[in-house]
Amino acid sequence: MDTVKLQEQAQQRQELFVGLYKQVFPAVAKYVARCGGSFDEAKDVFQDALLSYYEKTAQAGLSVNNSDGAYIYGTARYLWIKRYKEGGQTSPLNEALIVNTAEENISLPDGNKLLYFLESAGKRCMELLRSFYYDKLPMTQVAETFGFSGIRSATVQKYKCIEKVRETVKQKALTYEDFLK
């Protein structure tokens, strides 16, 4: 192969890796953070997964069955779980670092608009949803806290609260883009 072809292939490979990094690393970093990992551990796991991806696709005739990003994410999750079981976890990942490494042009939902629609469902619904999604209380504790007869009743009420919010959004004919900053 001549030098020009090798340079073109190296350039294409670099562009692919940069694109995959921008596409997949934020999700891997968030997963590792939720599991108590550090930012450096997230980078290590991602780079190991990217190397595994490259080795698999570089072999003649082998291809990834799913999307490239899904393969890398799945491999990173596997590697993290393996590392976590071996006791390699350290300090929690700083959320600010995740946002800074993500693509600059990704829009985040506008918290004020979301809060308005959540409040439209009522104070009790807002508290129930907050308890389950934000405070991460188990349904048994949610049922007990809100005085429901059981887990099933609490689950049904949570569903009704979500439906109230969805109905408000439908009535106003809003789309996901309406919530972006």
The predicted-structure confidence for 128-176, as pLDDT tens digits, reads as follows 888 888 888 899 999 999 999 999 999 999 888 888 888 877 777 655 5
Q: Which residue has the tokens 């949570």?
A: 158
Give the pLDDT confidence score for residue 146 in this predicted structure.
92
Residue 66 or residue 41, greater confidence = 41
Coil, strand or helix at 11: helix
Same domain, 57 and 135: no
Residue 161 contacts by C-beta under 8 Å, 6 or more apart in sequence? 121, 122, 125, 128, 129
Same domain, 96 and 115: no
Q: Domain ends where: 101, 124, 141?
A: 101
Q: Kindly tell me if the per-residue pLDDT of 18 is higher than 50.
A: yes
Gap between the Cα atoms of 57 and 46, Å rounded:
16
Q: Is 1 exposed, middle or buried (0-12, 13-18, 19+ CB in 10 A)?
A: exposed
Instruction: Name the DSSP class of 132.
Output: I
| Residue 18 placed within a domain | yes
| Secondary structure E strands in 28-174 | none
Same domain, 8 and 97: yes
User: Of all residues in the chain, what percent carry a pLDDT higher than 90?
Assistant: 9
Same domain, 120 and 93: no
Same domain, 21 and 56: yes
Same domain, 7 and 90: yes
Q: Which domain holds residue 85?
A: 3-101
How many domains does the chain divide into? 2
Q: Domain ends where: 53, 72, 101?
A: 101
Helical axes 3-34 vs 68-85, angle rounded to 10°: 50
Same domain, 161 and 76: no
Residue type, 75: T
Same domain, 97 and 118: no
Same domain, 148 and 127: yes
Q: Domain ends where: 101, 124, 139?
A: 101
State phi, psi for 93 to the nearest 5 degrees.
-75, 135
Give the pLDDT confidence score for residue 141 in this predicted structure.
92
Q: Tell me, what CATH number does 174's domain have?
A: 1.10.10
